[in-house]
Amino acid sequence: MSEYVDENIRMVASEIDKVFFSEGGAARAQQQPGLRFGQSLRTNFEEPTAAFCAAFLVELAANAAALGWLVAGSSWVSAGTDAYVDSAPFLWYSCYLMVVFIWSLLGTMTTGLIASAVATVLPGSKS
């Protein structure tokens, strides 16, 4: 692995050690006898919920922007059909195939997600 990956692994390991096994984590465990790993996880991860919500909203906005960019690119490829198929066929066909592949992938994944959700719910509704 590269040095960058090694550095990130060491950083995550030191954060886990600091949160669960440092004096702060031990002090919480002594204040609450019988504190188990799951309870320690819940105690330590309740505090950063605002940061988690902000990160979730940023991720949601990034996905919405990516979908908007895909829609815009699809319309540009479609609009350039008459002009660019003859003048720049390699560029147009590569863009066209990429757009078709991405939309097919998204459609297949969406259909699979819906089918798996239905397959999960149907056995539970019989009882």
For 41-61, the pLDDT digits (tens) are: 555 555 567 778 788 899 999
Among residues 73, 70, 95, which one has the least CA distance to residue 84? Answer: 95
Residues 77/89, Cβ–Cβ less than 8 Å: no
Rounded to whole angstroms, the Cα distance separating 104 from 112 reads 12
- Structure confidence at residue 83 (pLDDT): 85
- Structure confidence at residue 127 (pLDDT): 53
Rounded to whole angstroms, the Cα distance separating 106 from 89 reads 25
Q: What is the pLDDT of residues 5-14, one digit of tens each?
A: 778 787 877 7
- Structure confidence at residue 59 (pLDDT): 95
Residues in the chain with pLDDT values less than 70 = 1, 20, 22-48, 124-127
- Structure confidence at residue 13 (pLDDT): 79
Residues 40/20, Cβ–Cβ less than 8 Å: yes
Contacts for 84 with CB less than 8 Å, ≥ 6 apart: 91, 92
* Sign for the pseudo-dihedral over CA of 107, 112, 113, 117: positive
Rounded to whole angstroms, the Cα distance separating 9 from 75 reads 42
- Structure confidence at residue 18 (pLDDT): 74
Domain boundaries, given as residue ranges, for the chain: 3-45, 49-125
* pTM higher than the cut 0.75: no
- Structure confidence at residue 105 (pLDDT): 97
